Structure 1
Amino acid sequence: MDNSNMWIKHKNNRSIKEQVDILVKLTETHKKCIGLPKSKREVEFLKILYPASIRNLEIGDKFIGKTDYSAVGFGCVTSTSGVGYFFHKHKIDELKNNTKDKELLEKINLVEKYWCDKDTQENFRKELKKSNPEFFKKFAKNDNYSCVVCGFSRLSGMQLNYNKLLDLGVNGLKKSILSRNKDGKNDFYRASLEALDLFLDIANHFEIETRKLAQSLIGDKLEREEVLKVSNCLKEIKKGEKPKSFREAIQLTWLYGVVAGVVNYGRMDDYLGEYLLDDLNNDKLTEKEALDLVKSFWKMIAWRKTVMNGRVTIGGKGRRNEKAADKFAMIAMEATRINKDLEPQLTLRIYENQNKKLLEKGLEVISEGCTFPMIYNDEVNIPSVASAMNVSLKEAEDYVPFGCGEIILCGKSVGTPNVLINTLKALEVTLRNGYDRVNDVSLGYNTGKIEDFDTFDKLLEAYKTQLKIHIEELAKAQRLSYDVMKENCSFIYVSLLIDDCIEKGKELLSGGARHLGGTLEVYGNINSANSLTAIKKIVFEDEKINLKQLVHILDRNFNGFEEIRNELLNAPKYGNDEAEGDLMASKLHEYVCMCIKESAKDIGLDSFLAVVINNHSNTIWGRTTLASADGRKKGQFMANGNNPYNGTDINGPTAMLNSLTKLKTDIHAGSVQNMKFSRSMFKNHINIINQLLEVYFENGGSQLMITVVDPKELEKAYNNPTNYRNLIVRVGGFSARFVELDRQVQKEVMERTLYE
């Protein structure tokens, strides 16, 4: 899901003139470097972008790294800035609206004229239209999600090998490059060395600025001392050597990630744990000081407001020093409990022999109203990832979720979800031979007239064909998104910390990444399965109505047909541990996932996998999806992830969790399971909760996201938002303050089953 429309804008820290001056310099640099190798051009561009885009230290912060993004820039994802070389027309318009200076307006217009056709996202759309005009007609209406499919060009989910950065230091990375670039001719190597020098220059710049700030704080000894600690930290980092302290390790990884444009942070306990334990053991830090550092770090991550990102993973198999990692994990969870922010999205991996205190602490934090940590089961996920991605079990130990729940190999793979499908909309157009009544055009494929479906199996085959054609075209679009990006971008800072780019001397999208994969976001699958079950029973088995009559009723949104709607609502539903409803969901899940998985070889990717993760797209896409045969009305939200449709799981939490475990986990790259408990249930019956989770994970449960609220609390917040500003809920693959959500999304969350 592209969340650029969810940006929460920070007030830019610079004057209009300063912003325009940077835009002019970026434009002149890009124009001047147009004929240079792409890696060299990128570095020259980044030299203008940084450190100019990074704010000076703000009083109270313990780290440098708050960033302002202008109308033109370079990045990986839309959640903070843009993809590759980006251009944001709305920010240009803001600048125009905020100045009457004719000279500045003239400069802004020149910048706009140059960049209007150079945005990476728009270039992807142009190339898609050129290469596949018929599919583009079905694809192009993604602004309001009124079609079956849509997609983007982006590099989401990159999680870097910070162990390599901390083990080698910047100087060590440079030595690694120099040892391979013996003839000095490799463009990527040469640009990489310049990029690393630029990074050290950035550290040097802010070391000087923070020292100036400290000198200005003569009257405030405590603040001055804190600022000097930041300055001294940057002084060490600019030397390029390995960090010597926990604070240095945090600042180095954070600043590097900011410059690289990444918004997820990998297995943080693995790469920071040893620094923490060493400082504690050598009395360089007290536990309180360490907690304060992590709390401040968490605030920096939360400040970015990436909404659907900000993942930090703790726990799990394969960590280098479990004792040290566990120490960091416990402090990380305590910082999350105290801060109660929406980011970082703390993710706890568990396995059978892991320190039990980690899960106990995690459940304690959740019980206090936090939606973190999310819990992932290594016993299921490691073999599942190995199978789905065709990698070894050892490599699969480095799996990490990103964004809304997609899974990637930390520091080893690319798996950005650049294409999306609404399977319920696909069923809708199948019933109308490709025709979409919402847009009054053909947005699907001609897979048969309604009269042709005289058996359920014929309808099912037509639906599968509809899905398969869309998936095959989406796979090509995913490949095209990479080709468009690699044509103009090196993503050089990302490439340097993704295996095996340095070893091969290639950027990550040009053959450098060890595993080049992609993912396809799947929505509507549970409603589709429930609809198929209802059609099978009501139309073909019980013969209450025929298929043509059903489509007529759905087109009229059940108006005048409440009796039939009740029949459809009462048909078997997934989520009750009953064979009929669960079997259809399992079969559809497997078909969709395998269809996506098998298309990887056709587009030259190491893997191409489904991700059944819902953010708020189940609500957005539901708005333009007609009434469905499961009894859902037109415009209503769809089920969230693999969860049962709201209110249809009526046999209790054990039955619901049993249904979840029937969906195969080794054929996709991530799915989302949400549960909502009352506070009294979670706090007063924690033994029951523990038993419930233990059985679920033993039976093959892969993941769980838990929200704890009081009965009626959401309804009260819906009606009186000013009294519930700090109420946090799990939406899908991300958390949000309930009162800040779209009203329809609020209703979807409210209507989920609450276990009391």
Structure 2
Amino acid sequence: MGLYTYSTADIPKSPRITKLVDNLYAKMPEIEAARAVLITESYQQTENEPMIIRRAKAYQHILENIPITIRDLELIVGSTTLAPRGCQTYPEFSYEWLEAEFDTVETRSADPFYISDKTKKLLHEANGYWKGKTTSELATAYMEKETLLAIEHNIFTPGNYFYNGIGHVTVKYDEVLAIGFKGIKEKAEAELARIHVGDGNYQTKSRFLEAVIISCEATIEYGKRYGRLAIDLARECNDPERKKELLAIAANCANVPENGARSFWEACQSFWFVQQLLQLESSGHSISPGRFDQYMYPYYKQDLESGAITREFAQELIDCIFVKLNDLNKCRDAASAEGFAGYSLFQNMIVGGQNEEGLDVTNDLSIMAIQASKHVYLPQPSLSVRVWNGSPHDFLVKAAELTRTGIGLPAYYNDEVIIPSLESRGLTLEEARDYNIIGCVEPQKAGKTDGWHDAAFFNMCRPLELVFSNGVDKGVQLGPKTGNVEEFKTFEEFYDAYKAQMNYMIELLVNADNAIDVAHAERVPLPFLSSMIDDCIGRGKSVQEGGAIYNFTGPQGFGIANMADSLYVIKKLVFEEKKLTLSELRRVLKMNYGKGLAPEDVADTVAQVATQMAGEGVAVTDREIASIIKEVVAASESPSVKAEGERILALIEEVPKFGNDIDEVDYFARDVAYTYTRPLLNYHNPRGGIFQAGLYPVSANVPLGAQTGATPDGRLAHTPVADGVSPAAGADTNGPTAAANSVAKLDHFIASNGTLFNQKFHPSALSGEAGLDNFVGLIRSYFDQKGSHMQFNVVDRETLIAAQKDPSKYKHLVVRVAGYSALFTTLSKSLQDDIIKRTEQSSYEAVD
């Protein structure tokens, strides 16, 4: 039985919310220069001070001087930019990519931003200071040459944190709401008074605590700036209702975030200042609100019971927060924008689930968060729902009603898997029961964890290519020499070669992540963030230096389904049924099954031939290069190659695939997944924590698939690889329950950094009460089999195709991309195509 009663009655949407959303999306997002100019000014003035103090003073200088605004109709205030959905830049992490894209960022296919000539000039002047001082430059210096080579050849990419801040955290919102930054400042002051000048760590700890105090003072003053602005606007306002609202906003900002919140409205405002300023301190994303329905509930309950607030006004405040979460934005380089398409900041809010004692704590705010997603109908926050045996059915039906709208929200998470997986990583049972989700799908304990989730993308298909080439890529000996495939006598020899390539590349991935980790600790410690994570104040260390109680690094592997299907094809067709040789397979993969070579494939083949000729002492002239190109193209287009490609594709098509509830294939996929998840457990990071695997791609399966050759499962070169732990697109032909049964056979416990399972349904599958009940039944059935996560697109293929052809008519079409939702028309065409191609389920099988 749950602790709380709650209402599932719908609350009408306020007209204010429609206007706020329309105003937010009236123009293209814009890049602004204020933060870059201000941080540069501060750094120039603090050259010889400790880095942690420099960071605190820079944060203070930014908050004291950055332009502020209160947008029309807002009830919750605080904006990082003057332009709606605008973004600041963060040159201390990296800047070269932006300067190189000044003239293309507005017209690129994924996440374009307007940037004025004045802003370009200001940024160029500020960026000049940062040459040789960025985290990306220092991280590069710490990496081994083999690591840089692996990155260059697209085996993995740690670009997320290589060029940006970390984020991927949930702070102690509850503590800020309870005691404010005045209380946190007093904690730091008390710790500073306790330590002694003769302590071995006095120099570093005292400066860290001073930096926390400076950051708290800056945050308090920033809130008061907004209070003064609200009063100024109220004086000029002729609308009595709006004047009253502005005066209430001014009163709220006079108290929070300095002090503890006295009301639900103040709690909402204090929450928002924390959320916004975490983003302003650094360029990290996936700063996730966590269990919003839990830490906000006492303020809501108090006001509701006293009559100080109505349920309708509380809903409007939550709706306003949801709008504000879409106001935050970030500009990434063009390649990264393809992998994170949709302007997403991955701010994950999760509702429902258990408390530390194992009791269900679904409450009014759990329902109202679902309602807010319906009202606002925007990608942020990335709303999630915790599911366990004690989850109320009517709560899950309410969540299913939101899914039925097609927004791709909420995502569903299984307490019965995630809680024990976190315990296996050292959390107590009570802490694990209180988990939330970060970013896409990553579980952690709020306020105690620096999880370094999403630390890298590892393409599991690329080491398979290296097996066929004996470790050579584009003429370079990239991986170990594992032998010529033509000489392998057993499948075990082939599989061992794959594992050897994997292990070698995983160690290089670890080297890359740890190099970036050290660079962040040295150059961008974050005192504001650290003030809200245990036990940074007690340890006297920033989060970046290991101040958190739990420290992990979570890089994710993807391409599970392609790898399982590919290796199973080799096992069956080559070694068991002997219908194919590895020599034939190697040749047909190189020729892309006779479907035509892309220019990069031709260049790769030419490079290999030229390297071989040079090694044999044969001079390679331009004429010979041209001749080689001609021969390669002719060979790839020959009738014999095309016929061979068709023959082998027909053989591959007959081999069972992952996603159809076939034990032999599914348990093989489980073993393939272990080739990534198990080796990672052997490594540690500089913060004293361990590596833990995730199995999800965000949307990088599309751009990184474009860098991957043909694979033995029949996938053509440069097409997307499989999405998360989902079956390959179109391979799951036995219906949604069969697909779910297959995915559940993977070991979700070992992938404690999260797994991602996407399904797509035709809207008719969720129609009526029976449709919703069957949908909830599918989720419970999958979770009973120890699956970890599910998320859904509910949209028909024809609608997506129409939106792609005429985006102006579908501006508000939101879809589930990977671990997040986005406006469909803002995605690149390649990513749109990937979503269109996902298997569309139109009905359910019987669910037990």
**Residue by residue, what CA displacement relative to the aligned partner does 1:646-668 show, whole Å, maximum 9, x if unpaired?**
11111111111111110111112
Query: After the TM superposition, which residues 167-206 of structure 1 pair with which residues of structure 2 at under 5 Å, given as runs?
Result: 167-182=178-193, 183=195, 186-206=206-226
Distance in 2 of aligned mates of 1:295 and 1:108: 35
**Residue by residue, what CA displacement relative to the aligned partner does 1:299-338 show, whole Å, maximum 9, x if unpaired?**
0001224515111111111269989861111111101011
Q: Which moved more, 1:220-229 or 1:668-677?
A: 220-229
In the alignment, which of 128, 150, 154 is matched to residue 138 of structure 1? 150
Structure 1 residues 465, 607: CA separation in 2 closer, same or farther (over 3 Å shift)? same
**Residue by residue, what CA displacement relative to the aligned partner does 1:122-153 show, whole Å, maximum 9, x if unpaired?**
3322332xxx1122122235xxxx44554433
Is the CA contact (8 Å cut-off) linking 1:277 and 1:324 kept in structure 2?
A: no
Distance in 2 of aligned mates of 1:586 and 1:323: 32
Structure 1 residues 569, 311: CA separation in 2 closer, same or farther (over 3 Å shift)? same
Q: Could you tell me how far 1:719 is from its partner in structure 2?
A: 3.0
3-state SS in 2 of match to 1:313: strand
Residue 562 (1) aligns with residue 580 (2): no
Q: Could you tell me how far 1:604 is from its partner in structure 2?
A: 6.4
Task: Name the aligned partner's letter for residue 619 of structure 1.
Answer: V
Which residue of the partner structure matches residue 656 of structure 2? 572
Q: Could you tell me how far 1:466 is from its partner in structure 2?
A: 0.6
Is the CA contact (8 Å cut-off) linking 1:518 and 1:605 kept in structure 2?
A: no
Q: Which moved more, 1:475-484 or 1:719-728?
A: 719-728
Residue 257 (1) aligns with residue 293 (2): no
Is the CA contact (8 Å cut-off) linking 1:626 and 1:635 kept in structure 2?
A: yes
**Residue by residue, what CA displacement relative to the aligned partner does 1:491-528 show, whole Å, maximum 9, x if unpaired?**
11111111111122221122311011101121212101
Is the CA contact (8 Å cut-off) linking 1:270 and 1:320 kept in structure 2?
A: no
Residue 243 (1) aligns with residue 284 (2): no
Which residue of the partner structure matches residue 400 of structure 1? 436
Q: Could you tell me how far 1:108 is from its partner in structure 2?
A: 6.0
Which residue of the partner structure matches residue 423 of structure 1? 460
Structure 1 residues 400, 81: CA separation in 2 closer, same or farther (over 3 Å shift)? farther
Q: Could you tell me how far 1:246 is from its partner in structure 2?
A: 0.9
Is the CA contact (8 Å cut-off) linking 2:358 and 2:433 kept in structure 1?
A: no
Task: Name the aligned partner's letter for residue 300 of structure 1.
Answer: K
Which residue of the partner structure matches residue 783 of structure 2? 697
Q: Which moved more, 1:79-88 or 1:111-120?
A: 79-88
Q: Which moved more, 1:574-583 or 1:53-62?
A: 53-62
Query: After the TM superposition, which residues 156-171 of structure 1 pair with which residues of structure 2 at under 5 Å, given as runs?
Result: 156-171=167-182
Residue 553 (1) aligns with residue 588 (2): yes
In the alignment, which of 251, 257, 270 is matched to residue 232 of structure 1? 251
Query: After the TM superposition, which residues 427-438 of structure 1 pair with which residues of structure 2 at under 5 Å, given as runs?
Result: 427-436=464-473
Structure 1 residues 354, 690: CA separation in 2 closer, same or farther (over 3 Å shift)? closer
Task: Name the aligned partner's letter for residue 190 of structure 1.
Answer: E
What is the RMSD computed on CA atoms of the aligned residues? 2.7
**Residue by residue, what CA displacement relative to the aligned partner does 1:597-653 show, whole Å, maximum 9, x if unpaired?**
2223x8664221111112221111111111110011111111100000011111111
Q: Could you tell me how far 1:740 is from its partner in structure 2?
A: 2.2
Q: Could you tell me how far 1:53 is from its partner in structure 2?
A: 3.5
Distance in 1 of aligned mates of 2:391 and 2:812: 33
In the alignment, which of 676, 688, 699 is matched to residue 616 of structure 1? 699
Gaps in structure 2 of 5+ consecutive residues: 1-26, 104-113, 197-201, 280-284, 330-342, 595-641, 843-848
Q: Could you tell me how far 1:533 is from its partner in structure 2?
A: 0.2
Residue 337 (1) aligns with residue 374 (2): yes
Is the CA contact (8 Å cut-off) linking 2:462 and 2:708 kept in structure 1?
A: yes
**Residue by residue, what CA displacement relative to the aligned partner does 1:273-323 show, whole Å, maximum 9, x if unpaired?**
111121111111111111111111100001224515111111111269989
Task: Name the aligned partner's letter for residue 51 of structure 2.
Answer: K
Distance in 2 of aligned mates of 1:51 and 1:571: 64
Higher relative contact order (CA 8 A, sep 6+): 2
Which residue of the partner structure matches residue 5 of structure 1? none
Distance in 2 of aligned mates of 1:622 and 1:384: 30
Q: Which moved more, 1:292-301 or 1:171-180?
A: 171-180
**Residue by residue, what CA displacement relative to the aligned partner does 1:411-452 show, whole Å, maximum 9, x if unpaired?**
11112232221111111111111122xx45343332222233
3-state SS in 2 of match to 1:518: strand
Residue 283 (1) aligns with residue 307 (2): yes
Is the CA contact (8 Å cut-off) linking 1:87 and 1:118 kept in structure 2?
A: no
Distance in 2 of aligned mates of 1:35 and 1:133: 32
Distance in 1 of aligned mates of 2:89 and 2:271: 19
Distance in 1 of aligned mates of 2:157 and 2:544: 24
Distance in 2 of aligned mates of 1:626 and 1:456: 22
Which residue of the partner structure matches residue 538 of structure 2? 503
Distance in 1 of aligned mates of 2:659 and 2:358: 40
In the alignment, which of 767, 789, 792 is matched to residue 683 of structure 1? 767
Distance in 1 of aligned mates of 2:66 and 2:98: 18
In the alignment, which of 33, 45, 56 is matched to residue 43 of structure 1? 56
Q: Could you tell me how far 1:470 is from its partner in structure 2?
A: 0.9
Q: Could you tell me how far 1:538 is from its partner in structure 2?
A: 1.0
In the alignment, which of 70, 90, 99 is matched to residue 98 of structure 2? 90
Which residue of the partner structure matches residue 748 of structure 1? 834
Structure 1 residues 711, 604: CA separation in 2 closer, same or farther (over 3 Å shift)? closer
Query: After the TM superposition, which residues 204-219 of structure 1 pair with which residues of structure 2 at under 5 Å, given as runs?
Result: 204-217=224-237, 219=238
TM superposition score normalised by structure 1: 0.90
Structure 1 residues 208, 496: CA separation in 2 closer, same or farther (over 3 Å shift)? same
Structure 1 residues 9, 513: CA separation in 2 closer, same or farther (over 3 Å shift)? farther
Is the CA contact (8 Å cut-off) linking 2:36 and 2:88 kept in structure 1?
A: no
Give the share of equivalent positions with the same residue, in percent.
Answer: 26
Structure 1 residues 434, 603: CA separation in 2 closer, same or farther (over 3 Å shift)? farther
Gaps in structure 1 of 5+ consecutive residues: 1-7, 14-18, 71-77
Distance in 2 of aligned mates of 1:355 and 1:97: 49
TM superposition score normalised by structure 2: 0.81
Distance in 1 of aligned mates of 2:243 and 2:82: 29
Q: Could you tell me how far 1:86 is from its partner in structure 2?
A: 4.7
Distance in 2 of aligned mates of 1:160 and 1:471: 30
Query: After the TM superposition, which residues 460-475 of structure 1 pair with which residues of structure 2 at under 5 Å, given as runs?
Result: 460-475=495-510
3-state SS in 2 of match to 1:598: coil
Structure 1 residues 509, 427: CA separation in 2 closer, same or farther (over 3 Å shift)? same
Distance in 1 of aligned mates of 2:472 and 2:306: 70
3-state SS in 2 of match to 1:618: coil
Distance in 1 of aligned mates of 2:533 and 2:497: 42
Is the CA contact (8 Å cut-off) linking 2:147 and 2:509 kept in structure 1?
A: no
Residue 59 (1) aligns with residue 72 (2): yes
Structure 1 residues 308, 635: CA separation in 2 closer, same or farther (over 3 Å shift)? farther
3-state SS in 1 of match to 2:819: coil
Residue 725 (1) aligns with residue 827 (2): no
Which residue of the partner structure matches residue 628 of structure 1? 711
3-state SS in 1 of match to 2:791: strand
In the alignment, which of 117, 134, 152 is matched to residue 132 of structure 2? 117
Q: Could you tell me how far 1:392 is from its partner in structure 2?
A: 2.1
Distance in 2 of aligned mates of 1:317 and 1:88: 46
Task: Name the aligned partner's letter for residue 484 of structure 2.
Answer: K
In the alignment, which of 371, 374, 398 is matched to residue 361 of structure 1? 398
Q: Could you tell me how far 1:97 is from its partner in structure 2?
A: 8.9
Distance in 2 of aligned mates of 1:660 and 1:221: 58
Structure 1 residues 235, 86: CA separation in 2 closer, same or farther (over 3 Å shift)? farther
**Residue by residue, what CA displacement relative to the aligned partner does 1:679-705 show, whole Å, maximum 9, x if unpaired?**
111023223223222222222122110
**Residue by residue, what CA displacement relative to the aligned partner does 1:473-504 show, whole Å, maximum 9, x if unpaired?**
21122222111111122211111111111122
